[in-house]
């Protein structure tokens, strides 16, 4: 096998909080295999997603472009990833890499309105679209709920094994409020399937081309459905849910209506909440939800350990490994679960670990980085010419002292932060919300200072910087 170019393996989770990993200080669970990357690579303490929604975040990661520049800014509008834009697969494929993807893609909006509880519908159009982006080998598991709504590679195998119907029933069962044990053997859980498919592929890889592979676990995204065997690995004595019961007495807060169950609320967990009010979830519910979420992470960590073992045995030091998540999850903090319209650090900050080829020492950096930096990092390591994107390579980020400002976008959503102050604007139905947070005095983001005259200069600065970021490409 040729060693002229390094192999590249990108491992992602969906909706993974940064502080859920033991290498970022979590004590509820241990994640020793993910921690291996921190112990031998580079840990980014201040890495940010470019959108709190799955599709725009993934499209930004794949293209190195902010959502407003790649055009895919919504989970729900019919604006899939533009096939004419260079992306992480097409660029590396055209440079001699074999490209592979295992798990969730989500570069096209899912037809949520068409789903039905009594059938798993055809999904061939989606699979072919994903392949057309430049993926040579695709093992598709496009999300736990999606795999029972639409027939991807995973759900077809699950049906052949006789377990699809039970999983579909559990996901459609409203009484469990998205929290339940996986109703089949552990090896058939979506994250087990993705880990197994990736490990088998790496073990058997014998092509002369260098490999780019994206291992995309759809967990711990809801439904919170770990195999029961992993729950015993969770020590809830160390858990601490962050809540201020009076936070949403302020109607200027973006999620005030969500918390109180008013008509224009909008976050993922609202549909399962009693009377559509997030405040009505019980403490027992939050405890079970959080325990299930952490158990799923332990499961994923097990499979990441198997993947790392195979990669290290197969490729030695000639491989770039990147681990991250598309966004985080509120997980009951602030009385919310989900991520829609969330600029809280619970969702915005993500884990980011890298191990470069031949990296000799580990390091940790506080420099701000973004998911749009992953594509140029891969291009840099592969020795390819620079492409015109919004991100820059992570090594360059560190050299420059990190990004001065980071931005997140979505449908009717814009947020910007310098790491200390944060400005968020949301258009939600007929309501407009603007929040300004001071993380130095209020690290849990309980208080909106948008009308506080003491912050006028900071607010003006972030407004100006957000306009500059939005205008940069339109002025090229």
Quick check: is 462 in a domain? no
Burial of 245 from C-beta contacts in 10 A (0-12 / 13-18 / 19+): exposed
Query: Domain containing 392 — which CATH number?
Result: 3.40.720.10
Where residue 474 falls among pLDDT bands split at 50, 70, 90?
low
Confirm whether 155 is domain-assigned.
Answer: yes
Give the closest residue to 78 by CA, choosing from 116, 124, 111: 111
Give the sign of the dihedral formed by CA 255, CA 257, CA 261, CA 266: negative
Mean pLDDT to the nearest integer, 284-303 = 98
Please give the pLDDT value at position 471.
83
Dump pLDDT digits (tens) for 351-391.
999 999 999 899 999 999 999 999 999 999 999 999 999 99
Angle between helices 32-40 and 283-315 in degrees, nearest 10: 50
Encode pLDDT of 425-469 as tens digits. 999 888 899 999 999 999 999 999 999 999 999 999 999 999 998
Query: What is the predicted pLDDT for the residue at 1?
Result: 39
pLDDT in tens, 175-215: 999 999 999 999 999 999 999 999 999 999 999 999 999 99
CA separation, residue 128 to residues 133, 137, 209 (Å): 9, 12, 23
3: pLDDT strictly greater than 70: no
What pTM was estimated for this model as a whole?
A: 0.97
CB-based contact 303:192 (threshold 8 Å): yes
The pLDDT of residue 473 is: 65
Domain count, the chain: 1
Strand segments (E) across 284-420: 319-325, 349-355, 363-370, 406-410, 413-417
* 263 domain-assigned: no
Q: Are 391 and 374 in contact (CB under 8 A)?
A: yes
Show the domain range for 189.
Answer: 7-244+276-401
Q: Residue 216 domain-assigned? A: yes
Whether 173 shows a pLDDT value over 50: the answer reads yes
Residue 2 scores a pLDDT above 60? no
- For 9-47, write each residue's pLDDT tens digit: 999 999 999 999 999 999 999 999 999 999 999 999 999
Nearest Cα to Cα of residue 126 among 117, 118, 135:
135
Residue 148 contacts residue 171 (beta carbons within 8 Å): yes
pLDDT in tens, 48-73: 999 999 999 999 999 999 999 999 99
Encode burial over 61-89: b for 16+ CB neighbours within 10 A, e otherwise.
bbbbbbbbbbbbbbbeeebbbbeebbbbb
CB neighbours of 441 closer than 8 A, spacing ≥ 6? none
pLDDT at 240 over 80: yes
Instruction: State the average pLDDT for the chain.
Output: 96
422 belongs to a structural domain: no
**Is there a domain that residue 414 lies in?**
no
Q: Is residue 115 part of a domain?
A: yes
| pLDDT computed for residue 429 by the predictor | 81
Question: Which residues, in sequence order, are bridge partners of residue 416?
Answer: 407, 423
- pLDDT for the residue 266: 83
pLDDT at 269 over 80: yes
Pairing of strands 211-220, 7-14: parallel
Beta-bridge partners for 99: 212
In a domain, 206, yes or no: yes
């Amino acid at each position: 096998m040729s060693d002229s170019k390094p192999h590249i393996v990108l491992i992602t989770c969906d909706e993974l909080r940064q502080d859920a990993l033991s290498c970022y200080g979590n004590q509820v669970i241990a994640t020793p295999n993910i921690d291996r990357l921190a112990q031998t690579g580079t840990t980014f303490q201040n890495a940010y997603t470019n959108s709190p929604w799955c599709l725009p975040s993934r499209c930004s990661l794949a293209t190195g472009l902010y959502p407003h520049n790649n055009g895919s800014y919504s989970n729900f509008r019919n604006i899939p990833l533009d096939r004419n834009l260079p992306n992480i697969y097409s660029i590396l494929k055209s440079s001699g890499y074999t490209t592979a993807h295992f798990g969730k893609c989500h570069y096209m909006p899912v037809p949520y309105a068409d789903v039905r509880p009594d059938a798993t519908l055809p999904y061939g159009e989606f699979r072919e679209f994903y392949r057309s982006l430049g993926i040579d080998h695709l093992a598709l598991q496009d999300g736990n709920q999606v795999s029972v709504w639409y027939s991807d590679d995973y759900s077809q195998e699950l049906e052949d094994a006789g377990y699809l119907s039970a999983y579909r029933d559990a996901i459609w069962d409203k009484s469990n409020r998205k929290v339940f044990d996986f109703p089949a053997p552990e090896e058939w859980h979506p994250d087990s399937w993705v880990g197994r498919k990736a490990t088998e592929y790496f073990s058997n890889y014998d092509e002369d081309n260098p490999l780019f592979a994206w291992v995309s676990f759809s967990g711990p995204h809801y439904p919170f459905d770990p195999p029961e065997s992993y729950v015993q690995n969770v020590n809830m004595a160390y858990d601490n849910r962050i809540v201020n019961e009076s936070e949403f007495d302020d109607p200027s807060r973006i999620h005030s209506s969500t918390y109180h169950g008013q008509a224009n609320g909008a976050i993922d967990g609202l549909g399962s909440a009693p009377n559509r009010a997030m405040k009505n979830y019980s403490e027992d519910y939050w405890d079970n939800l959080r325990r299930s979420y952490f158990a799923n992470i332990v499961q994923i960590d097990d499979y990441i350990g198997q993947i790392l073992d195979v990669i290290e045995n197969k490729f030695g030091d000639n491989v770039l490994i990147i681990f991250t998540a598309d966004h985080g999850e509120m997980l009951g903090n602030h009385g919310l679960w989900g991520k829609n319209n969330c600029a809280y650090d619970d969702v915005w900050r993500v884990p980011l670990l890298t191990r470069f080829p031949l990296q000799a020492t580990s390091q940790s950096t506080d420099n701000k980085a973004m998911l749009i930096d992953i594509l140029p990092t891969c291009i840099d390591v592969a020795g390819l010419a620079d492409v015109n994107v919004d991100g820059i390579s992570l090594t360059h980020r560190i050299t420059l002292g990190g990004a001065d400002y980071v931005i997140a976008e979505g449908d009717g959503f814009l947020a910007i932060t310098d790491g200390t102050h944060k400005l968020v604007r949301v258009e939600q139905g007929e309501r407009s919300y603007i929040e300004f947070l001071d993380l130095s005095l209020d690290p849990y983001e309980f208080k909106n200072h948008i009308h506080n005259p003491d912050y006028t200069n900071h607010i003006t600065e972030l407004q100006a910087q957000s306009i500059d970021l939005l205008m940069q490409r339109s002025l090229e």
